[in-house]
């Protein structure tokens, strides 16, 4: 409980003399609300497993399984809706709960060294800057190792003039770009137009060449996979915590959390799958996207099962649990803020010299982005 050393008697509280920290910590130690509805809790494991895993796989399937014939507009919606979800998750679903767990008004934040500083933003800032350093070092390594020239606005691979008559090779260019929005023609693509009359207008050349053993794919994979693994690492942290909390929830809390978390985990999974879907993968690693999608899909159901097993002892509001969840949420918030704003928005929209000029497609991308961000922020009202 509190570090004040005073004994706290909940049945007789002297509001004038009792430290506020004792009251807050006592209320946090009230235990969980598990209500023995075992069947419903078990059902939640399988519902979240199936739904969130399927949604996470969708963007990867759309770019790698040709016979599914996923409309290009559907893929774009999923990709940029997912990007908006990641950004909203960072601010609403991670940073805000971190303040509740270890912020200045919390039990933890009023005790010991936690009371001397506002730690959630400091931890998130440190996390974001560390991720930036790792991202930069990965880019620097690829540049030095492969002799890749780094342009002022974006690292982009191009072949010698003459490959297709306009100075670039559509099958080798842009493999290192973090975006799927190109302006070169391609015939070999895994997505189909929305209607028979719509032609591919050159925007998604990268999606046609996501697996292979070319030097361009090797470079792109080494540059991008580390940033993605950090992103998934941050999201999984969060998924573990909310899974444990759902496993021990009961009554009205469970009735609200269960459906909300189905959407919550599905939307986050869409962001994970969308980001993974455009990372070129060498042939020997072609199994990796499926394993990474499955790892995300399994995380929350396993955490719910662990929460069920610990329902007699686990209290998500205890001092120790608050410290752990607050620190992990702050770390994850920093990771997702950097990834969402830099890897997804800045590189796709601002610093992409080959961004599509199709106004309708740009509108679809922006509307999807803001819709994902807005809906995920709204879900934060309940979870």
- Greater pLDDT, 88 or 177: 88
Residue 286 pLDDT class (50, 70, 90 cuts): confident
Q: In the predicted model, what is the mean pLDDT of the chain?
A: 77
Distances (CA, A) of 202 to 193, 355, 377: 12, 10, 34
Q: For the residues 178-200, what does the mean pLDDT come to?
A: 41
pLDDT at 26 over 70: no
Answer for the pair 243, 32: CB distance below 8 angstroms, yes or no: no
The 8-class DSSP code of residue 71 comes to B
Q: For the residues 330-342, what does the mean pLDDT come to?
A: 92
**Which residues lie closer than 8 Å to 31 by C-beta, 6 or more apart?**
315
Distances (CA, A) of 327 to 86, 92, 304: 19, 15, 20
Cα 198 from chain centroid (whole Å): 32
Backbone angles phi, psi at 71, to 5 degrees: -60, 140
- E strand map for 143-277: 211-212
Q: Which two tokens stand for residue 97?
A: 């709960």
Helix axes 251-277, 215-248, angle to 10 degrees: 180
pLDDT at 176 over 70: no
* pLDDT at site 3: 46
Distances (CA, A) of 276 to 81, 224, 231, 343: 14, 9, 10, 12
Name the 3-class secondary structure at 282.
strand
What residue spans define the domains of the chain? 54-146+207-381
pLDDT at 15 over 60: no
Closest to 246 in 3D by CA, of 106, 24, 37, 1: 37
pLDDT at 367 over 90: yes
> Token match 């999608």: residue?
293
Answer for the pair 56, 272: CB distance below 8 angstroms, yes or no: yes
Q: For the residues 190-216, what does the mean pLDDT come to?
A: 52
* pLDDT at site 23: 67
pLDDT at 372 over 50: yes
What value does the CA radius of gyration of the chain take, rounded to a whole number of Å? 23
Distances (CA, A) of 65 to 39, 69, 190, 285: 37, 8, 7, 16
**Which residues lie closer than 8 Å to 273 by C-beta, 6 or more apart?**
55, 56, 57, 58, 59, 60, 78, 82, 293
């Amino acid at each position: 409980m509190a570090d004040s050393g005073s004994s706290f008697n909940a049945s007789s509280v002297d509001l004038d003399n009792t430290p506020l920290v004792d009251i807050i910590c006592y209320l946090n130690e009230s235990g969980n609300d598990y209500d023995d509805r075992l069947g419903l809790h078990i059902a939640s494991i399988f519902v979240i497993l199936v739904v969130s895993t399927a949604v996470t796989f969708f963007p990867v399937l759309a770019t790698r399984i040709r016979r599914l014939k996923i409309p290009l507009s559907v893929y774009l919606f999923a990709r940029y809706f997912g990007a908006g979800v990641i950004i909203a998750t960072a601010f609403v679903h991670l940073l805000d709960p971190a303040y509740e767990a270890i912020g200045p008004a919390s039990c933890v934040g009023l005790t010991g060294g936690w009371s001397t500083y506002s730690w959630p933003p400091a931890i998130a800032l440190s996390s974001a800057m560390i991720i930036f350093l790792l991202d930069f070092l990965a880019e620097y390594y690829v540049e030095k190792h492969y002799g890749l020239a780094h342009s002022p606005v974006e690292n982009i691979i191009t072949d010698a003039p003459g490959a297709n008559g306009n100075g670039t090779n559509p099958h080798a260019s842009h493999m290192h770009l973090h975006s799927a929005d190109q302006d070169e023609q391609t015939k070999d693509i895994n997505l189909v137009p929305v209607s028979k009359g719509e032609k591919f207008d050159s925007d998604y050349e990268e999606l046609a060449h996501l697996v292979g053993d070319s030097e361009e794919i090797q470079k792109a994979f080494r540059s991008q996979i580390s940033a993605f693994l950090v992103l998934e690492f941050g999201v999984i942290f969060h998924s573990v915590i909310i899974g444990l909390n759902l496993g021990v929830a009961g009554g009205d809390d469970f009735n609200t959390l269960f459906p909300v978390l189905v959407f919550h985990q599905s939307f986050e999974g869409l962001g994970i799958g969308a980001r993974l879907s455009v990372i070129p993968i060498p042939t020997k690693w072609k199994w990796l996207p499926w394993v990474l999608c499955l790892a995300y899909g399994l995380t929350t159901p396993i955490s719910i099962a662990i929460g069920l097993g610990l329902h007699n002892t686990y209290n998500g509001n205890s001092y120790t649990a608050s410290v752990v969840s607050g620190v992990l949420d702050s770390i994850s918030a920093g990771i997702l803020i950097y990834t969402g704003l830099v890897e997804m928005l800045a590189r796709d929209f601002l610093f992409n010299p080959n961004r599509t000029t199709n106004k309708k497609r740009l509108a679809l991308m922006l509307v999807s982005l803001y819709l994902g961000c807005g809906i995920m922020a709204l879900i934060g009202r309940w979870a």
